[in-house]
Amino acid sequence: MNARRIRAVIGKETREILRDPITLGVALLMPLVMLFLFGYAISLDLRRASLGVLDEDHSPASRALIEHFSANESFHLSRSLGSVREIEQVLQRGQVDLVLVVPAGLNDSLLRREQPQVQVVVDGTYSTTALLAAGYAEALVASFGTKPSRATLRLETRVWYNPSLRSVNYIVPGLYAVILLAFPPLLTALGVVREKETGTIQCIFASPLTSSEFIFGKLVPYSLIALLQMLIVVSFGYFWFGVPFQGSFLFLLAAGLVYVLCTVGIGLLVSTLTRTQLTAMLLALIVTLMPSFLFSGLLFPIFTMPALLQLYAAIFPGVYFVEISRGIVLKGTGIDMVWFQVAVLALYTLAVFILASRRLKKKVA
């Protein structure tokens, strides 16, 4: 490895990137666009579910219960129903997400200190929201009326790491991993394959520059861009989305550097397998973007998948960084807890580079 030759490649590559404002702009803006789209779109919280009410009691107690529901920000009272038949109509038309049915006699039984029943009918078409809505309704009903007697056990739930259970708090740190797996490889692969298309790579081949020098020289500027992308998305996560930051920023940066080298390396590997920018782009998307969404644990937990798919998910580096990133951001985890993930990423990076250097022979065919 000759330092002067590597510097020449780095310098050349950096100038090319800086002078191509469109590519640079896309490289820096796309991660943000993705962060915003998914930061807002993927929300698993229940907000303002529309509520229908069938009040057959018309009593102070029933009014108080209905008020108790509509005062909660999860529900929004959208209509009052006149009969049981209407329940089916409004649910079928999707006009409400759930219906609260207050039977006649609620007030009286409460006064008699009996245990009266109310009913909640939930539209189960979207099972996640339905479960949430049912759970919330149950909690609301439980907290209404009679105070719990001292004799019964009382469950007091504390949610750690994400006490407000905001989904954005775990989606955004996961997105850090997905975004850094989606864009850096694409940019890198195009950067090399472009040289194949224009033929400049043939002049590189017919020169003393070795393939590892070439790869190293390409790696540095693209890793810097990737690191910049990481800084941008992390700071927007913290300042804009208000995602808490419990752990060490330096540790995240260090782990991120390993991860970014790994994903840039994947881009280089893709570029050694393809000849045109179009195929490079498609291949990069297939090996990075697709698995990073579905098999990184961003949306769906890996441990609930069938064993075979769990193995498949383990092939892609995204899954490890999702754990690292969520650990650092939400739990304040240090290296002692995620050393395994960091080690896997480091080995992964090494393997990708060895493969890429081997694949990139200084031959045209």
Partner 1 sequence: MAPQDHEDRIIKAQGLGRRFGRHEALAGIDLQVGRGEIFGILGPDGAGKTTLMQLLAAILDPTAGQCRVLGFDTLRESSQVTDRIGYMSQGFTLYDRLSVEENLAFSARIRGVSDADYRQRRQRLLQMAGLQDAVNREARVLSGGMRKKLSLCTNLIHEPELLLLDELSLGVDPVSRQELWKMLRTFRDSGMTIVLTTPYMDEAQACDRLAFLYRGRLLAVDSPAALKDRARGRVYEVVTARLEEVQEILAASPEVISGQWLADRYRFQIDNAQGISGSLRMKLEYLGAPSPAMPDLENAFVQLTAQPADRLATTVSLRSAATPAAPATAIAATDISVRFGDFSAVNQVSFRIAAGEVVGWLGPNGAGKTTLIRVLCGLQRPSAGEARIAGLPLASSSTQIKARIGYMSQRFSLYPDLSVIENLRFFAGMYGLSGQHRRDAIRWVKPLVGIDGLDGNRTQALSGALRQRLALACAIMHRPSVLFLDEPTSGVDPLARRRFWQLIQRLARSGMAILVTTHYLEEACYCHRLGLMHNSRLVALGTLAELRSALQPSDPGASVEAVFMAYITRPSAAAGVVG
Strands 49-55 vs 98-102: parallel, antiparallel or unpaired: parallel
Partners of 122 in beta bridges: 98
Alpha helices, H only, 53-210: 60-71, 84-92, 106-111, 127-142, 167-198, 200-205
Rounded distance, CA 274 to CA 190, Å? 10
Rounded distance, CA 204 to CA 160, Å? 55
Task: Decide whether 7 or 48 has the Cβ nearer to partner 1.
Answer: 7
Q: How far is the CB of 169 from partner 1 (least distance, A)?
A: 42
- Give the contacts of 319 (CB within 8 A, at least 6 positions apart): 295, 296, 297, 302, 313
Q: How far is the CB of 18 from partner 1 (least distance, A)?
A: 9
Task: Decide whether 185 or 191 has the Cβ nearer to partner 1.
Answer: 191
CB 263 within 8 A of CB 180: yes
Q: How far is the CB of 190 from partner 1 (least distance, A)?
A: 14
DSSP label of 285: I
Task: Decide whether 85 or 363 has the Cβ nearer to partner 1.
Answer: 363
In three-state form (DSSP H/G/I as H, E/B as E, the rest C), the secondary structure along 191-243 is HHHHHHHHCHHHHHHCCCCCHHHHHHHHHHHHHHHHHHHHHHHHHHHHHCCCC
Rounded distance, CA 65 to CA 102, Å? 9
Q: How far is the CB of 364 from partner 1 (least distance, A)?
A: 5
Rounded distance, CA 352 to CA 273, Å? 13
Q: How far is the CB of 5 from partner 1 (least distance, A)?
A: 5
Task: Decide whether 16 or 86 has the Cβ nearer to partner 1.
Answer: 16
**Residue 332 zone, left/alpha/beta (φ > 0; ψ -120 to 50; rest):** left
Task: Decide whether 7 or 358 has the Cβ nearer to partner 1.
Answer: 7
Task: Decide whether 2 or 80 has the Cβ nearer to partner 1.
Answer: 2
Footprint of partner 1 on this chain (CB under 8 A)? 2, 4-5, 7-9, 11-12, 15-16, 19-20, 198-200, 202-210, 362-365
Task: Decide whether 167 or 207 has the Cβ nearer to partner 1.
Answer: 207
Rounded distance, CA 267 to CA 244, Å? 31
